Amino acid sequence: MNVMVVGSGGREYSIGRVLSQDEAVEKLYFCPGNGATGTLGENIAIKDYNELADFASENAIDLTIVGPEAPLTEGIVDIFKAKGLTVFGPSKEAAQLEGSKVYMKNFLAKYGIPTARYVETDHIDTAFKFIETLPVPVVVKADGLCAGKGVIIAQSHDEAKKAVSEMLSGKAFGDAGKKVVVEEFLDGYELSMFAICDGKDYILLPAAQDHKRLLDNDEGPNTGGMGAYAPTPLVNDEIYEKVKARIVRPTLDGMQAEGAPFEGVLFIGLMIVNGEPLTLEFNVRFGDPECEILMPLLKTPASELFYKGATKQLDTLNVEFSNQYAVGVVMASRDYPYKSSEPAEIVVDETVHDEIAKYTHISYAGVSEEDGKLYATGGRVLVCVGLGDTIREARDRAYMLCGQVHYAGKKLRTDIAYQAL
């Protein structure tokens, strides 16, 4: 079949990478892709979703997989479906699970799905009153998408009130902050789980752990994620079962009842508090860099998984995962996450080491290509992925590969997967 991947990051590269090795895939397109996806398939530069859907029809694309949240919340799936195309991802309405924190929290409350206690409001007095009832820290969230910056963990009531005022006035995030969620702080450990959904059935992937802070020991500012590994031993069967029964099943049933069945990847951000999983957030797409370590663990052909996900056939799929571990270490550019950096040429040493050749690979993200050379141009440049029979082995291999990749300003954490070791 012919497949198109929408997006340009390491997440989309990693999906494309497994598709490029998939015998069922004939032609592979990326829109827009990045400087490295051109080696896996063909990059297309079409911005308008209607035009892109026409391109998909004209080029007999059998399946389109949408990576990032922006096109999903903008309704790309609805546009493709209206033209009779097969597309994997949620509708605009279902994408509100990520696009609006107010929608998400009210949905969780309506269907009794465990989450932090909260109020959602556009009235400053209501927010202030609730803040007074909470112990510190207090969590304040802007309703809309704010590129990962819309969540404030306030260390005092005054700081929480200031955050609310700045959001509601539009000063902090414009319209995305015109409504807020104020909620209790949950103290536990964070996990990411991913369910591939077809509206009624789902497949839960091995649990992953991301590393959001820039620096070792979880210090420094928040980032999109500096590394991840899976499966994590922080999840046992009991937690998997609770997540399925209390969160994923009621979410799929609830979205069906709302008339917005959820198709696509449900990314469940969890806080485990005293062994109980609570929903921190939903995203409606794969995490990045989580996707880069989950894709290589998939033994079932990716085209089959996503095609069945897009055509309500997951109940007929017997999905298989490798029994290995995967560790991904993000390499970022010098000034990430503060500002963009000068482009820097990427040089990868020639591999002489068997272990590196066999058990590692690079997933490229913020890169551009010129005259056959790759340049680091984005904040998160690439992910070095290592596979192994233990987390330690996978991690050691990932770091071996990191040692072979060079560019000016290369920046990485040295402790990815520490919580599992």
**Interacting residues with ligand AMP (CB under 6 A):** 116, 139, 141, 151, 183, 185-186, 190, 269, 280-281
Question: Is 225 a residue that touches ligand GLY (CB under 6 A)?
Answer: yes
C-beta of 93 vs 183, nearer to ligand AMP: 183
CB of 251 to ligand AMP, least distance (A): 16
Out of ligand AMP, ligand GLY, none, what residue 290 binds, judged by CB under 5 to 8 A for its kind, is: ligand GLY
The reply to whether 281 sits near ligand GLY by the rule CB under 6 A is: no
Whether 167 and 177 have beta carbons less than 8 Å apart is answered as yes
Residue nearest to ligand AMP (CB): 281
The entry of ligand GLY, ligand AMP, none near residue 42 (CB within 5 to 8 angstroms by kind) is: none
Report if residue 264 touches ligand GLY, rule: CB under 6 A. Answer: no
Alpha-carbon span 138 to 150, nearest angstrom: 14
Report cis status (omega within 30 of 0) of the bond before 32: yes
Residue 287 sits in the site that holds ligand GLY (CB under 6 A): yes
- Residue 69 binds ligand GLY (CB under 6 A): no
Which one, 131 or 196, has the nearer CB to ligand GLY? 196
Q: How far is the CB of 148 from ligand GLY (least distance, A)?
A: 7
From CA 168, how far away is CA 121, in angstroms rounded? 9
Q: How far is the CB of 307 from ligand AMP (least distance, A)?
A: 30
- Write down the number of H helices and E strands in the chain: 14, 25
Token couple for 15: 């999906």
Q: Among residues 182 and 381, whose Cβ is nearest to ligand AMP?
A: 182
Burial class (CB within 10 angstroms; exposed 0-12, middle 13-18, buried 19+) of 242: middle
Is residue 263 part of the contact set for ligand GLY (CB under 6 A)?
A: no
In the chain, % helix, strand, coil (3-state, to 5) comes to 35, 30, 35
Total number of residues binding ligand GLY (CB under 6 A)?
Answer: 7
Q: Report the amino acid identity of residue 10.
A: G
Beta strand spans in 168-275 (E): 180-184, 189-198, 202-204, 209-210, 213-215, 219-222, 227-230, 263-273
Judge whether 347 and 407 are in contact, CB under 8 Å.
yes
Enumerate residues 6+ apart whose C-beta is below 8 A from 360.
Answer: 384, 385, 386, 387, 397, 398, 400, 401
167 sits in the region (left: phi over 0; alpha: psi -120 to 50; else beta) called alpha
**Under the criterion CB under 6 A, does residue 12 sit at the interface with ligand GLY?**
no
Q: Are strands 42-43 and 27-32 parallel, antiparallel or unpaired?
A: parallel
Q: Which two tokens stand for residue 139?
A: 């969590």
Among ligand GLY, ligand AMP, none, the one that 287 touches (CB under a kind-dependent 5 to 8 A) is ligand GLY
C-alpha neighbours within 13 Å on the C-beta side of residue 295: 29
- Residue number of the CB atom closest to ligand GLY: 225
Report the nearest approach of ligand GLY to the CB of residue 59 (Å): 29
183, 198, 263, 290: residue in contact with ligand GLY (rule CB under 6 A): 290
**Of the listed pieces 270-278, 281-289, 322-330, 338-346, which binds ligand GLY according to CB under 6 A?**
281-289
Cβ count within 10 A of residue 292: 34
210 binds, among ligand AMP, ligand GLY, none (CB under 5 to 8 A by kind): ligand GLY
Q: Shortest distance, CB of residue 285 to ligand GLY, whole angstroms?
A: 8
Among positions 22, 78, 288, 369, the unique one binding ligand GLY when judged by CB under 6 A:
288
379 binding ligand GLY? (CB under 6 A): no
Q: Which is nearer to ligand AMP, 42 or 415 (CB)?
A: 415
Which residues of this protein are in contact with ligand GLY, per CB under 6 A? 210, 224-225, 283, 287-288, 290
